[in-house]
Each structure stands twice: as structure tokens, then as C-alpha cells.
């Protein structure tokens, strides 16, 4: 299946490195049989670091990763030599990735820019060597500080797609067909609900020199905020979109009611989604004649811009692009 390469959720056990212990050592040279303490400090443990990469669009490379363990810091040694720092582990992730603690649901990190680096788990500090503990009354300390332990915990990585336009609609509303017509994306299309099981991204060319990103999200059904259908798993992808393009088919029994149900689901999942710009597209209008369109228009919601389109017959597609572009610019 063409869409099986899309992975937007992984859980990995991560552990940063322990700091190296400080050294207990005394200076010994030919004519210095009782030199003072000269034990060096331990090295710092390796960090677990997230790095944003704009060329990535999925967490597929982490799909089979179960453990990530950074190197421990090395021991301190004689002549005040500090141990080597542990090697960091850098995890490259697509933009829009968040890292969460699965036990508390606490947000640990969020990557939104290319090249952005965030330390997810900090490595332990190296312990101090015995050279730091000498005093006038204790000139030969025979102890040093152990290294600080690293942090270990399970981390959930979630990808929330960063797209300009998100397609929202019930299953079989024509979302995948629209994406395949306006972009080079090849989503699976069939005449049954939930054909789309994973989000698809497409770059839509506009007026030869401009473009914007459109995301096709699996269909929403009534009760999705409670986990029905594909439920909450894909509602999160709508959170990062600038514009929500609602698709309701022309053969729907009540277009306004379907639109309200979709709005209600988004509101129950996250009320802030209703603050985004919205466009309503009536799809599959090749089945309608002009008289039917005139009859439908007065029944449509007034608080949202509407457009009649047909992806198959290429009706209203240019007008839809114009509306989207104007909304993106404003």
C-alpha cells in the first residue's frame, strides 16, 4: 500500500549517559614521593538531542527503534586529566514532531523549525576528582565524587503534520480525489468509507510560481472526539493547519447539518480549532445542474465561504485555489 510508509507515532525507551566518576590519584614522580592529589574529573554523559529536518515527513526511520542509549562519560585520571565526554545521540525528526512523557502526558519538546536542536534528556555531570577536596587539614583525600546518573524514561514521539490546508470531511466525501487532482500525490481512492487510513500530503501548484501544502486526513465521523472511527489518532493533524477546508458531498441529505457535525467534533476535541480560517467546498457537483445549485445555495451556512467543486470534472478547482490563496495571504 502506497501510504504504509507514513508513521506518525513511535514510543522509544531513551537513556542519557551517566557522568564519569572522578579519579582518586596522587602525584608520584622521581623526586616527589609524596606529591599532592591530582585526580581529574569524570567526563559528562551523552545527551539525547532532537534535531529538526525539513526534508523528512515521517517517523518511519524510528519505527523499529526500541532503545536509545547515550554513551557514559569516561573516568577522570591522573595529572588532573578530565575523562572524555560521552557521545550524544542526535535524533533527526520532521518538523511538527512533539516528544511527550507517556506516563504524565507532559510535553517534553516540540520541533517546528529546520535545524532546531533541543536537548530531550540531559547527560549526567562528571564527578569531581580528589584534587578538589584537598584542604589544609586534609591534604591527601582518598575519595572522589561519583558521576551523576543519566535520565532514563520512555518517550512518545508524535508527528503533527505542518500543512497550509487540511481537508476535513466525513469518509467518502472526495478528499483524496481532490488531493490527487490538485497535486502530484497518489492517495488510495476507492468507493468505500475509510479508504484513507493515514494522512497524505500534496504540494499544490498555484499560478505557475506559487505553491502551498495540502493534507488529506482520514475521514471524521460523529463521535470521533471519543475515539470512534479512526478517532483521536488523526484529529491531531488538523491542529497545525492554517486553513481548514471542509468537504461535504453534493449528494448529502443535509449539507449544513454535516458541516455542523464536523464543527462540533472539532470543537469537542479542541475548541481552538474553530479559530482557524474555514472554507466549505461542496464536492461531486458534477451530479448537479444549475437549478439544483441555486436551490442548495440558500440552505448553506452563512458564516463560511462556500464553493462548488467537482474533482473528476475539474469544476471550480481554480476558484477554490484562488480562495485558499487569498485566505493564506490574509
pLDDT tens digits, 7-27 = 778 999 999 999 999 999 888
Which pLDDT value is given to residue 219?
67
Question: What's the number of domains the chain is made of?
Answer: 2
Both 45 and 119 in one domain: the answer is yes
Both 11 and 153 in one domain: the answer is yes
Both 237 and 262 in one domain: the answer is yes
Show which of 159, 177, 199 is a domain's final residue.
Answer: 159
Both 218 and 269 in one domain: the answer is yes
Both 174 and 89 in one domain: the answer is no
Which pLDDT value is given to residue 48?
95
Domain encompassing residue 68: 1-159
Q: Is the dihedral of CA 10, 120, 20, 153 positive or negative?
A: negative
Both 149 and 210 in one domain: the answer is no
- Give the CATH number for residue 144: 2.70.210.12
Both 317 and 198 in one domain: the answer is yes
Show which of 143, 159, 175 is a domain's final residue.
Answer: 159
Both 42 and 131 in one domain: the answer is yes
Residue 191: which pLDDT band, with cuts at 50, 70 and 90? Answer: very low
Which of 95-99, 135-139, 189-193, 209-213 comes out lowest in average pLDDT? 189-193
Both 145 and 266 in one domain: the answer is no
Average pLDDT in the chain: 82
Amino acid at each position: 500500500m502506497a501510504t504504509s510508509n507514513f508513521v506518525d507515532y513511535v514510543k522509544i525507551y531513551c537513556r542519557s549517559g551517566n557522568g564519569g566518576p572522578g579519579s582518586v590519584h596522587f602525584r608520584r614522580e622521581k623526586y616527589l614521593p609524596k606529591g599532592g592529589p591530582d585526580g581529574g574529573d569524570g567526563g559528562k554523559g551523552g545527551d539525547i538531542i532532537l534535531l529538526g529536518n525539513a526534508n523528512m515527513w515521517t517517523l518511519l526511520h524510528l519505527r523499529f527503534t526500541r532503545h536509545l542509549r547515550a554513551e557514559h562519560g569516561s573516568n577522570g585520571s591522573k595529572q588532573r586529566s578530565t575523562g572524555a565526554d560521552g557521545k550524544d545521540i542526535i535524533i533527526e525528526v520532521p518538523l511538527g514532531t512533539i516528544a511527550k512523557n507517556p506516563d504524565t502526558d507532559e510535553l517534553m519538546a516540540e520541533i517546528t523549525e529546520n535545524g532546531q536542536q533541543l536537548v530531550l534528556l540531559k547527560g549526567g555531570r562528571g564527578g569531581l576528582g580528589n584534587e578538589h577536596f584537598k584542604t589544609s587539614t586534609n591534604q591527601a583525600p582518598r575519595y572522589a565524587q561519583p558521576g551523576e546518573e543519566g535520565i532514563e524514561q520512555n518517550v512518545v514521539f508524535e508527528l503533527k503534520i505542518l500543512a497550509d490546508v487540511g481537508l476535513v470531511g466525513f469518509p467518502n466525501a472526495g478528499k483524496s480525489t481532490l488531493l490527487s487532482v490538485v497535486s502530484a500525490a497518489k492517495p488510495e481512492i476507492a468507493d468505500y468509507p475509510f479508504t484513507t487510513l493515514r494522512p497524505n500530503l500534496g504540494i499544490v501548484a498555484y499560478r505557475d510560481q506559487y505553491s502551498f501544502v495540502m493534507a488529506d486526513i482520514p475521514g471524521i465521523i460523529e463521535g470521533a472526539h471519543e475515539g470512534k472511527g479512526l478517532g483521536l489518532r488523526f484529529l491531531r493533524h488538523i491542529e497545525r493547519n492554517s486553513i481548514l477546508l471542509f468537504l461535504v458531498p453534493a449528494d448529502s441529505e443535509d449539507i449544513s447539518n454535516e458541516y455542523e457535525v464536523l464543527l462540533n467534533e472539532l470543537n469537542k476535541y479542541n475548541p481552538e480549532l474553530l479559530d482557524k480560517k474555514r472554507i466549505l467546498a461542496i464536492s461531486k457537483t458534477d451530479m448537479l445542474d444549475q437549478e439544483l445549485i441555486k436551490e442548495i445555495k440558500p440552505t448553506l451556512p452563512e458564516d463560511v465561504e462556500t464553493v462548488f467543486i467537482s474533482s473528476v470534472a475539474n469544476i471550480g478547482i481554480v476558484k477554490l485555489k484562488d480562495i485558499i490563496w487569498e485566505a493564506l495571504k490574509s
